[in-house]
Structure 1
Amino acid sequence: MGNQPDIRAGRLPESAYAENFSDVHPPLDRKAALIESSRCYFCYDAPCVEACPTGIDIPSFIRKISTDNVRGAAQDILDENILGGACARVCPTEVLCQQACVRNAQEAKPVQIGLLQRYATDAVMDAGVHPFSRAEKSGKTVAVIGAGPAGLACAHRLAVLGHDVVILEAKPKSGGLNEYGIAAYKLPDAFAQKEVDFVLQIGGIEIRNDQALGRDFTLTDLRRDYDAVFLGMGLGGVRQLGLEGEDLEGVYNAVDYIAELRQSADLKALPVGRKVVVIGGGNTAIDIAVQTKRLGAEDVTLVYRRGAEAMSATHHEQEFAQVNGVKIKHWAQPREIRGMNGHITDVIFEYTQLDEGGRLAGTGDVFSLPVDMLFKAIGQTMLPQANGGSELLEMDGAKIAVNVERQTSLSGVWAGGDCVAISADLTVAAVQDGKLAAEAINSFLRG
């Protein structure tokens, strides 16, 4: 049924870890940025702007780069997206702004908008001068739950508008998924913390870490003690496979392992299996597959129950995984997790297909994959006990229902990011949620 598991640390030469987890997209220098910015047509009614969830005026900021007005370019970006630095690194630009670029129709090579955005935002952040100032103090205080992209964006906009903000964050560090959940090679060199510090330079924002909704305070407490509330706590639960053997040693939640990797001071001390299997089809599945490969796993296979086009990870991400040595196997679902002496040894998969009604169905044909480590990456869920008031909030399925201004069913309470039903599972979408909610909260507070 399988051999003894082979999980150990230090599979690679010491120098390999720094190389494998260095910046996956090195930044543009001034000369390259000027050349790339010159490729932009500065379109009127530019389709790239329509494709950007935060509505950044892309032609405007690129034109400013082309004239060496880098600070002005950064202002254009940060006016709409205060986390423009992180989004320049992690945003799926290949299916958003760059896919919409008119250059694609002529030479199939869009303007590198993401790298140009990074060039501008990095320059301003490195300069150490915050490009915003606060309006006159309103005397109002808003509680923001979660110091992830949605919460930080909401807090910053509220602070600019003159309100005081207290962010209550469950984890020891702020940054949300940018700190704990995204592949290390996308946001290296503690960038998430640098960006948090940059956001806080506006003043008027206090972050209290290790404060969890439902454990340390309730929604009722917040509504009593603050003038308004924004919920941006993301998703704390992990979907389970529901299979026997899921509790065997060697079976991991991908998000937990990524968080451990992101907080590790010594990657060579992180144990990894020789044979790794990942179940899922989203960005988390890709991130864990590539990172275990870069930690020294010999054989990494990502298994998804449908075809490539149904995966939520972009084609670019899927290709990136394969270039990094990850095998992607489509049309298969796990049926049994087997083990020996309390540790996983192999997983039985069943081939799948679509039936006449277009529903996913098993074929009855099975195969086995030997495995030292199995990672579950099939999505995250809200934790009811950590919601601290989901019974009071109107829900849309398993997430919080909000209107277009991100207001919940409760007066004085807004929400955004992964915990709301209408938000896309993207950092940039969470930023937009926080920004829209802040504008609505400002209107509410000012009567």
Structure 2
Amino acid sequence: MDARALKEGVVAGRLDPDALAAGFGDLHAPLTEHEALVAADRCYFCHDAPCITACPTEIDIPLFIRQIATGTAEAAARTIFDQNILGGMCARVCPTETLCEEACVREAAEGQPVQIGRLQRYATDDLMAKGIHPFERAPATGRQIAVVGAGPAGLACAHRLAMHGHDVVVFDARAKAGGLNEYGIAAYKTTDDFAAREVEWLLQIGGIEIRNNTALGREIFLNDLVSEYDAVFLGLGLGGVNALATPGEEKDGVLNAVDFISDLRQTEDLSSLPVGRDVVVIGGGMTAIDAAVQAKLLGALNVTLVYRRGRDRMNASRWEQELASAKGVRLITNASPIGVHGNGTVREIEFEFTNDALEPTGQTFRLAADQVFKAIGQTLDGVDLPELDGRKIAVDEAGKTSVSGIWAGGDCAAGGEDLTVTAVAEGRDAAEDIHRALLRSA
């Protein structure tokens, strides 16, 4: 590390291009054909497969693995995409270790599940690389639906509606479609601009128009959408970020982890991103892990992730926790921030240990910090929305909101887990309910 970095703290270009390329390369190399066949051969092809139940999109996992085993990867991809049109991204980012693979019979028997996620990627990548889109639109219905949010829920909803012959206009506040997949996931999980390529592939179905830089409450308004379109789907995600509510939080160097990840994902030059020598990340979910690991990969000397509960209560899976540790991130649990110290710019952050009931113990400690990332959850950002359930939009099992003609799904909707695969399932299911409603009103 050069003297400039040691002296100045938060700087760009800590590592050379080769080190950055190695750190931000594909986290899991894709399976070769031989590796895929060997991995597929381990599947028992269970009749009542628990892995299907564990998948939020209910992909017929034994079927697609059997199709890989018999040399028909294209058929396997069609099986996957029939349930999950974003199956390529989900194969990369889903916590399969706590979903389908945890339920795998091989995991229970041997502690080593079938590599379902990597096999799913093998099949979906194969079909997408050939430029094949496995679905065609039904005859045009003349109906038009507005989808707000071009993230996983919105894209899945739009695609399924387009399949049924409806025209869909997708509005998104950002410059690019993709939502969380484009802006909020660690770069080493989705390399080679995969999120954008997946959106382009999805749009091959036809009948979907995406209008970027168009935000609800700014360029468009919910009442207008309801009057102009036959139905509205809200897949807004969560635009707000929770505050620490800690003295000194306003100091320079205290940043939102989601903004850090977004900036990293959109840069064309990783060496241009400034990172501190002593980085502290506060939180226990996937965003916290992604921010911490990427800070380390950018060249931070010390990266510490601090979570207020125990490791068994972290939203990030055990596998993700172990990945962070393997990359050099220190994890401290049962500690909450109580003060940010520094003369205008953060220099230290103070914590107090807590017990399992989150009660303070009176024991405190300080960590040196020239950069602090908040990853303590996001909140729904919007006005004039349908009725809320807590801090999210209230929906029924089909995604209907309290307002007739409006459905919602993904992170902005109450219920379910904040996962890409869950958002896809909710968007898909809402689309089917919208389609049924439009048929009834025809």
The TM-score bracket by the shorter chain reads over 0.9
- Tell me the equivalent position of 2:3: none
In the alignment, structure 1 residue 269 sits paired with structure 2 residue 272:
yes
- Tell me the equivalent position of 1:352: 354
CA drift of 1:105 comes to 2.6
CA drift of 1:185 comes to 0.2
Instruction: Summarize the alignment of residues 65-214 of structure 1 with structure 2, pairs less than 5 Å apart.
Output: 65-214=68-217
The Cα offsets for residues 396-438 of structure 1, whole Å up to 9 and x where unpaired, read as 0010000000000111100000000113110000000000000
Instruction: State the secondary structure of the residue aligned to 2:30.
Output: coil
Matching residue's letter, 2:366: S
In the alignment, structure 1 residue 361 sits paired with structure 2 residue 359:
yes
In the alignment, structure 1 residue 437 sits paired with structure 2 residue 420:
no
Instruction: State the secondary structure of the residue aligned to 1:306.
Output: coil
Instruction: State the secondary structure of the residue aligned to 1:360.
Output: coil
> Contact conserved, 1:405 with 1:437, CA < 8 A, in 2?
yes
Matching residue's letter, 1:350: E
Cα 1:262–1:417 change in 2 (3 A) is same
Percent of aligned positions with the same letter in both sequences?
A: 58
How far apart in 2 are the matches of 1:306 and 1:160? 45
How far apart in 2 are the matches of 1:17 and 1:323? 17
75-84 or 11-20, which deviates more: 11-20
The Cα offsets for residues 307-357 of structure 1, whole Å up to 9 and x where unpaired, read as 0001100001001000000000011110010112x1111011111113xxx
Matching residue's letter, 1:382: L
> Contact conserved, 1:219 with 1:388, CA < 8 A, in 2?
no
1:339 to 327, 339, 342: 342
- Tell me the equivalent position of 1:255: 258
- Tell me the equivalent position of 1:396: 389
How far apart in 1 are the matches of 2:228 and 2:20? 47
> Contact conserved, 2:352 with 2:363, CA < 8 A, in 1?
yes
> Contact conserved, 1:218 with 1:388, CA < 8 A, in 2?
no
How far apart in 1 are the matches of 2:45 and 2:83? 18
Instruction: Count matched residues.
Output: 435
Instruction: State the secondary structure of the residue aligned to 2:205.
Output: coil
- Tell me the equivalent position of 2:282: 279
Q: Which 4+ residue blocks in structure 1 deviate beyond 4 angstroms?
A: none
Instruction: Summarize the alignment of residues 223-262 of structure 1 with structure 2, pairs less than 5 Å apart.
Output: 223-262=226-265
> Contact conserved, 1:5 with 1:343, CA < 8 A, in 2?
no
TM-score by length of 1: 0.96
How far apart in 2 are the matches of 1:209 and 1:360? 42
Structure 2: segments with no counterpart, 5+ residues: 1-5
In the alignment, structure 1 residue 55 sits paired with structure 2 residue 46:
no
> Contact conserved, 1:141 with 1:227, CA < 8 A, in 2?
yes
Structure 1: segments with no counterpart, 5+ residues: none
Instruction: Summarize the alignment of residues 290-439 of structure 1 with structure 2, pairs less than 5 Å apart.
Output: 290-340=293-343, 342-354=344-356, 359-383=357-381, 387-390=382-385, 393-439=386-432
> Contact conserved, 2:334 with 2:358, CA < 8 A, in 1?
no
> Contact conserved, 2:52 with 2:61, CA < 8 A, in 1?
yes
CA drift of 1:5 comes to 5.6
How far apart in 2 are the matches of 1:352 and 1:265? 41
How far apart in 1 are the matches of 2:28 and 2:79? 23
